[in-house]
Amino acid sequence: MPAKTNTELGTISIDDSVIATLAGISAMESYGIVGMASKNATDGLFELLKWDYLSKGVKVYSKDNALSIDLHVILEYGVKISVVAENIIDRVKFSVENLTGHKIEKINVYVQGIRVQK
């Protein structure tokens, strides 16, 4: 269900896919993240998504104008996972709340893989 804002002139409805795209772009700006991940239907393994498909690694749940966001990410080898995850949460929360005007209840970061630079 899309996040909605009622005004005196009408209703503003922001689709969950728009919020997912905003969250994906915001997450990608964080140090230590390689990309978003999506589960491959054929083999069940997670794969790195291209920029055009970032929102597939993000799940948005909206209820009573409060949002919950799940981010499935792949990080660089050698970074401190907890610090990178906290940075991703802070950046996504700030960006989505400022751009949409909706409160984020929680953000979950699921690290689906680590990439070693070649």
pLDDT given for residue 92 in this prediction = 97
Per CATH, the architecture of 3-115 is what? 2-Layer Sandwich (3.30)
pLDDT given for residue 103 in this prediction = 93
Domain ranges of the chain: 3-115
Q: Say if residues 60 and 52 touch (Cβ distance below 8 Å).
A: no
pLDDT given for residue 42 in this prediction = 58
pLDDT given for residue 44 in this prediction = 62
Q: What is the DSSP string of 28-90?
A: HTSTTEEEEEEE-TTT--EEEPPGGGGGGGEEEEEETTEEEEEEEEEEETTS-HHHHHHHHHH
| Token duo for residue 93 | 């929360």
| Calpha distance 52→54 (Å, rounded) | 6
pLDDT given for residue 117 in this prediction = 73
pLDDT, mean of each 10-residue run, the chain (118 residues): 75 89 94 86 69 86 87 94 97 95 94 84
